[in-house]
Amino acid sequence: MEWLANPELWVAFLTLTALEIVLGIDNIIFISILVARLPVEQQPRARFFGLALAMGTRILLLLSITWVMQLTNDLFHVMGQGISGRDLILFFGGLFLLFKSTLEIWHSMEGAEQGDAATNAKARGFMSIIIQIAIIDIVFSLDSVITAVGLVQNVPVMVAAIVISVGVMMLAAGTISSFIDKHPSLKMLALSFLVVVGTVLIAEAFDVHVPKGYVYFAMAFSLAVEALNIKLRGALARKTPDA
């Protein structure tokens, strides 16, 4: 129990928890948009399973840390560029995220959700959504675990930080999902952000490092502008006399 009195471990724990929450924002947005295609009564359960899956994936990867760190070793070379297991996961995960985000944007723009009932039923399948969440969880979790190992070498502290951060995300996920559903323009902004994240993942697969701070700053700035637009539209609606 000596670690309870160790201020360095507490600082590492709080820093890592905050970082895990920030790194989990794109995961929450992706889950929220996918879950929105399910019937309303299934959405809370899907969000819970999705985030629980994210937590389980991160802890399993953390406990397999030796294997995870080996993923950074080059497997082969292409035109002088070393390709590791991590690069492959980031590349295909980024492609998957680009594909899903672009497809969701197309559905929103073309009104495909009012299309063929059989297609909608398949798209809304509970297990289909969970499988898609599981795929992208592996990508986000891999980067998150490697970041955690770089900050802290104490496995129990890392596990505790992951559990707490996912707990916070579970509490916030419902509110975020409802807010996105109520504001279609915000959903489009979130999907555009996921396109950027997918592009960044592909770039990192080729060792082109894009500081995440720039991406999150752009997202925060865009959200602030959209929040002002939402408030302005509400104010104009209240001023407009009923027809």
pTM of the entire structure? Answer: 0.71
pLDDT of res. 116: 46
The pLDDT confidence band at residue 134, using thresholds 50, 70 and 90, is confident
> What is the DSSP-derived secondary structure letter of residue 112?
G
CA distances from 102 to 66, 80, 96, 105 (A): 35, 31, 10, 5
Is residue 154 helix, strand or coil?
coil
Per-residue pLDDT tens digits for 75-91? 787 777 788 888 888 88
Supply 212's token pair: 């995440």
Whole-number Cα distances in Å, 143 to 16, 115, 135, 136, 181: 13, 37, 14, 11, 28
3-class secondary structure, 84: strand
C-beta atoms surrounding 87 within 10 Å: 21
Mean pLDDT of the chain: 77
Q: What is the pLDDT of residues 188-223, one digit of tens each?
A: 888 888 888 889 888 888 888 887 778 778 888 888
